[in-house]
Amino acid sequence: MAVERTLTILKPDCVRKNLIGEVTRRIQEAGFKVVAMKMTRLTKDTAGGFYAVHKGKPFYDELTDFMSSGPCVPMILEKENAISDFRKLIGATNPADADEGTVRKDFADSVGENIVHGSDSVENGKIEAAYFFAESEVVANLA
Ligand code: UDP
Ligand code: MG
């Protein structure tokens, strides 16, 4: 299996609930290496750009309001099979449908406020990582 990178965001609800540590612990426990990390705050516009693929959908306005409602913590994670394994760790988009023991099942309040983002493909992961991080901010070879 190939080593991949995925872009996650600990969303504003994760930060508000003081779950940065717990969710990051689960991510690391599952074998993901954090190769870039920061705390930032999206604006309505930059949240809209990140989720441009969803523009026009009924939840887009609410989503961009939520994603710009407070600080968030984007990270680039590295692991074999990272894209698929990370989606398994976080669970289904709607916490009501998420498997037991997943991050969204345990911590998310709703389909909108669902604690974490995870890239859906290697290609999108690259685009999303570049949305938040310059090459110089990616510490790729931590011992
Ligand atoms: N979302 C929402 N309502 C929906 C579908 C999605 O509010 O019916 C939000 C939710 O925060 C989700 C994000 O939009 O995480 C992006 O949707 P996507 O379908 O890409 O889900 P994800 O890849 O995050 O599981
Ligand atoms: Mg998605």
pLDDT digits (tens, 9 = 90+) for 19-69: 999 999 999 999 999 999 999 999 999 999 999 999 999 999 999 999 999
Nearest CA to ligand 1 atom 25: 93
Which residue range is the domain that position 117 belongs to?
3-137
Cα–ligand 2 centroid distance for 117 (angstroms): 7
Q: Return the pLDDT at 6.
A: 98
Residues with CB under 6 A from ligand 1: 54, 59, 63, 93, 111-112, 114, 117, 120
Residue 54 known to be catalytic: no
Domain at 89, CATH number: 3.30.70.141
Ligand nearest to the CA of 51: 1
If you average pLDDT over residues 84-109, what whole number do you get? Answer: 98
The helix, strand and coil proportions of the chain, stated in percent and rounded to the nearest 5, come to 45, 20, 35
**Taking the CB of residue 39, how many other CB atoms lie within 10 A of it?**
11
In a domain, 142, yes or no: no
In a domain, 40, yes or no: yes
d(CA 58, CA 83): 26
CB 32 within 8 A of CB 112: no
Nearest CA to ligand 1 atom 19: 93
pLDDT in tens, 131-143: 999 999 998 755 4
In a domain, 32, yes or no: yes
Residue-wise over 63-86: b if at least 16 C-beta within 10 A, else e? bbebbbbebbbbbbbbbeebbebb
- Indicate if the pLDDT at residue 84 is higher than 90: yes
pTM, two decimals, is 0.97
In a domain, 143, yes or no: no
- Name the phi and psi angles at 115, rounded to 5: 70, -45
How many domains does one find in the chain? 1
